[in-house]
Amino acid sequence: MPDPHDRSVESALKTVEQLGKLADRLRAGTSPVHRAYRVVIRSLRRNLNDTNAIIDALETLEDSVRVASGTFYKRASAIGLAQAKRDLRIYDLGDPGPLKDDGVATAVTSALGLVSAQGDRVLAVARLNRGDELILGDDSRQGILAPTPVLTEMAFWLTGLSVLSYLLSTKKPGLDVVRQAVAQIDQHTTKTCLNVHGQIVEVDEPFHLTGTPRFADDMMNSPFHRGCRTVPAIIRRDLVKPEVTSGMRDDAIEQGKKPKPSTMKGRAHFKVVGKSVQEFRAGRWHTYKRLDTQLAARQEAARLNEARRS
């Protein structure tokens, strides 16, 4: 049976996995945030000259984001609470008590602030009659009214709220613990999280960060950067096993030696032949030639020319 230190690390890894699945659902094209933006953009394509229609559409968008962000944030907080329950049971300390403030309302306000800023820009540009593309985007670029900034902000808060719930729920009088950083180790793990994986600090001591990306050199808790997949685990001081930490560091070092996956792996490389990027992205593949095909043709022509000269 795993000892308490091993079980705490496994519990943290389960939390990271659950947060990853939650983030995937958030970013999916079928997520409520994506759907809300698509509905508003379709509406504005027909009414971009009507200020009242714009205001109504933006209010609908804020309401949709408020509901969606609240749902995702509460789920993230529940994931942190579940981790706290698992870890407290490891030490036979019972279940955590109710949280006075889980931070969800503050996080929702942060997301809505971005939506509101987008709305202000949309109204300003619409009044200046600068064109639909700047506001709504087109096939090659995003416009002002795009879900990406909001989704990025929401993804940041998923980890943050989970960690907050976990730490608040594991505060127990007389419990002498330290905190250990536990990262998801795979080909997508950043240098920062590889370096901090396994690091142990006191309850009131920050984690020291190296590598990139990172928000700062010293931080009390994750997320340490956008898209961070590291969470803390509390370990009772007298049950810390150096061999567990050593194994975690070895895993991180081995992963760091592996090459990062190429972002172009498995994709065809195309060269534009007198056509626009919009046509390319619209799927008009017949107007393009693959670079490897062009290269083969040039090599064959050079071979024939060389044969004629000889």
Which structure tokens are listed for 23?
Answer: 């983030």
Whole-structure pTM value: 0.79
CA dist list (Å): 27 to 64, 148, 178, 229: 15, 9, 34, 15
User: Using omega within 30 degrees of 0 as the cis cutoff, is the peptide bond preceding 259 cis?
Assistant: no
Tell me the C-alpha distance between 62 and 113, whole Å. Answer: 9
Residue 147 in 3-state DSSP?
Answer: coil
Q: What is the pLDDT along the chain (310 residues), one digit of tens a residue?
A: 578 999 999 999 999 999 999 999 999 989 999 999 999 988 888 887 888 888 999 999 999 999 999 999 999 999 999 999 999 999 888 888 778 888 999 999 999 999 999 999 888 888 887 667 778 877 677 788 889 999 999 999 999 999 999 999 998 877 889 999 999 999 999 999 999 999 999 999 999 999 999 999 999 999 999 989 999 999 999 999 999 999 999 999 999 988 876 544 444 444 444 445 445 455 544 444 455 556 666 777 777 777 777 6
Tell me the C-alpha distance between 39 and 113, whole Å. Answer: 20
Return the closest-CA partner of residue 111 out of 171, 152, 166, 169: 152
> Which phi-psi region, left, alpha or beta, contains residue 221 (left: φ > 0; alpha: ψ -120 to 50)?
beta
DSSP 3-state helix, strand, coil percentages of the chain (rounded to 5)? 60, 10, 35
Rg of the chain (C-alpha set): 26
Residue 94 in 3-state DSSP?
Answer: coil
CA dist list (Å): 243 to 3, 92, 149, 198, 234: 12, 24, 42, 11, 17
